[in-house]
C-alpha cells in the first residue's frame, strides 16, 4: 500500500474495528454473566414457588409443581419434584429427566440436549428442582449482542467516512506541495516551502530540501569546473594549432621542421597532462564514488613514486631521492595515493631550479603516519598557501609572476587527502627556504588490516 491516505485510513479503521469487536465480545460476555445471574434468580424463584403450590403426582392433586403453562415456553424451563428418598413425584416434561440431588444449591448438570443450569431446594415435604438449558441463555445473549452490533457497525462506518474526509482535508497541503514540485522543471532546485505543511513531515521535507541544495551546489560546481576546464584547454589547443601551422610551413627547412616538431610534441604532452589531471580530479571529487580502501605501505609508495620520476629529475638536473624506514601502512587506495605522490613530485620538480634537491619521506611524526615532499625551490608565500589548493590557480611562487603548470596538482592532492581523512599542510623548508608539503594521516594500521 503506497498511499499515505489509504495507509492512515486502514490503520485507524482497523484499530476502530478491532476496538469495536473487543467491545462487542466484552458486552457479550458481560451480558451472558448478567443474564446468567438473572436466569439463576428466576430458577430460584420458580423453585420457591413450587413449594407453595398444589402438585400433581401421577395426575393427583397435591402441593408442589406449577404447570408447564406457568413459565414462558421459549425459555425452556424444566421443573421436577422429588420425595426425600429420591422418587420423582412430578415433572413439567416427562421426556426430559435430570438427576436427583439431595443437597440444595445451583449447579450445571449434563442432560438431554446439552448442559442444564439447575437449582435444587430441599423442604420438609421433599426436593424441588427448576432447570434451564444453557444453550437457551446463550441464544438470548447472542440475540441481544447482535442487536447491539448493528448500530455499532453503522457507527464504525460513519466514523470511517468522517475519517476519510478529515484525512483528505489534512493531507491537502501535502498534495498541493507535491503538485507544485511536479510542475517544476528539471533545473528548478529551490527548497519546498514548509509553511503550510504538517509539522510531522517537516523532517522529510527538510531532508529533501537539503538534498536539493546539495544537488544545486554540485551542479554549480560542475558548471564552474567545465567552464574552467574549457578555458584551460583552449590555450594548449590553440598552441597546438599554431605549432601545426609552423610545422607545415617549415617543411623545406629540416632544422626549423625538427624544432617545430619538438614544440608540437611538447604541446601534446602538456595537453595530455592537463587532461589526465582533469580526469584525476573528477575521480576524487566530493561527488565521485568512494574507492575501496586497503592496508597500503606509504614507504613503498614513496620509493615507487621516486623511481617513476627519476628520469625526469635527471633530465632537469635535480637530485630526487626517497628517505623511508620501516613499512608504514595506512588504510588507503593505492591508485589514489600514487596520484597524490606523483602530483606532489611533479610540482616539486617543476618549481625546483637546476641543481636543486627534492626529498620524499615517509615516516611517523607524533605517532601518526606522514608523507613529506621537500624541495629547495622558491617556495610559496604564506598569503597564497590557501589559494593554491583552488583549481586552476597557479600562484606567483618566489615572486616571479604567473607560474607554469595546470594549477590542478595541489587541488588533486587535497581532494585525495580528504578522501583518506588526511590533512595537507604547506610549510617552509627545513632550512627556511623552499617548500615542504606534509600529508598527515590519522593513524597507521596493521599490515593485516
Task: Enumerate domains of the chain plus CATH numbers.
Answer: 4-156 (3.30.450), 200-284 (1.10.287.130), 294-440 (3.30.565.10)
Q: What is the pLDDT of residues 80-131, one digit of tens each?
A: 999 988 899 999 888 888 999 988 999 999 988 889 999 999 988 899 999 9
Mean per-residue pLDDT for 302-326? 93
Is residue 60 pLDDT above 70, yes or no?
Answer: no
Residue 318 sits at φ, ψ, to 5 deg, of -115, 135
Q: Rounded distance, CA 104 to CA 43, Å?
A: 13
**pLDDT confidence of 298, banded at 50, 70, 90?**
very high
Residue 122 sits at φ, ψ, to 5 deg, of -115, 130
Is residue 58 pLDDT above 80, yes or no?
Answer: no
8 A C-beta contact, residue 130 and residue 82: no
Mean pLDDT lowest for which of 87-101, 130-144, 243-257, 432-446?
Answer: 243-257
Mean per-residue pLDDT for 61-68? 40
Mean pLDDT lowest for which of 62-66, 78-82, 140-144, 154-158?
Answer: 62-66
**Torsion sign, CA atoms 186, 190, 196, 199:** positive
Q: Rounded distance, CA 105 to CA 117, Å?
A: 11
Q: Is the pTM of this model over 0.75?
A: no
DSSP-derived letter for residue 218 is H
Q: Rounded distance, CA 134 to CA 54, Å?
A: 28
Q: Closest Cα to residue 228, out of 414, 404, 391?
A: 391
How far is C-alpha 126 from the geometric centre of its chain's CA atoms?
80
Neighbouring residues of 74: CB distance < 8 A, sequence distance ≥ 6: none
DSSP states of 344-404 as a string? HHHHHHHHSPTT-EEEEEEEEETTEEEEEEEE-S----GGGTTGGGSTT----GGGSSS-S
Is residue 348 pLDDT above 60, yes or no?
Answer: yes
Q: Closest Cα to residue 443, out of 311, 360, 331?
A: 331
Helix pair 334-351, 298-316: axis angle to 10 deg: 30
pLDDT of residue 66: 42
pLDDT of residue 65: 39
**Exposure string for 98-120, b = 16+ CB within 10 A, e = fewer:** beebeeeebeeeebeeeebbbbb
Residue 416 sits at φ, ψ, to 5 deg, of -65, -40
Average pLDDT score, the chain: 80
pLDDT of residue 325: 84
Amino acid at each position: 500500500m503506497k498511499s499515505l491516505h489509504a495507509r492512515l485510513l486502514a490503520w485507524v479503521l482497523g484499530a476502530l474495528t478491532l476496538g469495536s469487536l473487543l467491545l462487542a465480545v466484552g458486552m457479550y460476555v458481560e451480558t451472558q454473566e448478567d443474564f446468567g445471574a438473572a436466569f439463576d434468580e428466576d430458577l430460584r424463584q420458580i423453585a420457591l414457588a413450587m413449594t407453595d403450590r398444589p402438585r400433581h403426582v401421577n395426575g393427583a392433586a397435591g402441593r408442589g409443581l406449577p404447570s408447564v403453562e406457568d413459565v414462558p415456553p421459549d425459555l425452556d424451563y424444566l421443573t421436577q419434584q422429588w420425595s426425600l428418598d429420591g422418587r420423582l413425584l412430578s415433572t413439567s416434561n416427562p421426556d426430559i429427566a435430570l438427576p436427583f440431588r439431595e443437597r440444595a444449591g445451583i449447579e450445571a448438570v449434563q442432560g438431554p440436549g446439552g448442559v442444564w443450569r439447575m437449582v435444587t431446594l430441599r423442604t420438609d415435604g421433599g426436593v424441588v428442582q427448576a432447570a434451564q438449558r444453557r444453550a437457551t441463555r446463550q441464544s438470548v445473549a447472542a440475540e441481544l449482542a447482535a442487536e447491539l452490533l448493528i448500530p455499532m457497525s453503522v457507527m464504525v462506518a460513519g466514523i470511517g467516512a468522517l475519517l476519510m474526509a478529515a484525512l483528505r482535508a489534512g493531507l491537502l497541503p501535502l498534495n498541493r506541495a507535491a503538485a507544485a514540485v511536479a510542475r517544476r522543471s528539471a533545473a528548478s532546485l529551490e527548497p519546498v516551502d514548509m509553511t503550510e505543511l504538517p509539522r510531522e513531515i517537516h523532517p522529510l521535507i527538510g531532508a529533501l530540501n537539503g538534498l536539493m541544495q546539495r544537488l544545486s551546489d554540485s551542479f554549480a560546481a560542475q558548471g564552474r569546473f567545465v567552464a574552467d576546464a574549457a578555458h584551460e584547454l583552449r590555450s594548449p589547443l590553440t598552441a597546438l594549432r599554431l605549432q601545426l601551422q609552423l610545422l607545415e610551413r617549415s617543411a623545406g627547412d629540416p632544422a626549423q621542421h625538427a624544432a617545430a616538431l619538438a614544440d608540437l610534441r611538447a604541446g601534446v604532452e602538456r595537453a595530455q597532462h592537463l587532461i589526465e589531471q582533469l580526469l584525476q580530479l573528477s575521480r576524487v571529487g566530493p561527488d565521485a564514488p568512494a574507492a575501496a580502501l586497503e592496508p597500503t605501505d606509504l614507504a613503498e609508495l614513496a620509493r615507487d613514486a621516486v623511481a617513476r620520476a627519476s628520469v625526469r629529475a635527471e633530465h632537469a638536473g635535480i637530485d630526487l631521492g626517497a628517505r623511508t624506514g620501516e613499512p608504514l601502512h595506512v588504510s588507503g587506495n593505492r591508485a589514489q595515493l600514487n596520484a597524490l605522490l606523483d602530483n606532489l613530485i611533479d610540482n616539486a620538480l617543476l618549481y625546483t631550479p637546476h641543481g636543486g634537491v627534492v626529498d620524499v619521506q615517509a615516516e611517523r611524526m607524533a605517532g601518526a603516519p606522514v608523507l613529506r615532499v621537500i624541495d629547495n625551490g622558491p617556495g610559496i608565500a604564506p598569503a597564497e598557501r590557501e589559494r593554491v589548493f583552488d583549481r586552476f590557480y597557479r600562484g606567483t611562487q618566489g615572486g616571479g609572476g604567473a607560474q607554469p603548470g595546470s594549477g590542478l596538482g595541489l587541488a588533486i592532492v587535497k581532494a585525495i587527502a580528504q578522501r583518506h581523512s588526511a590533512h595537507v599542510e604547506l610549510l617552509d623548508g627545513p632550512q627556511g627556504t623552499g617548500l615542504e608539503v606534509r600529508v598527515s594521516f590519522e593513524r597507521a594500521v596493521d599490515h593485516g588490516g
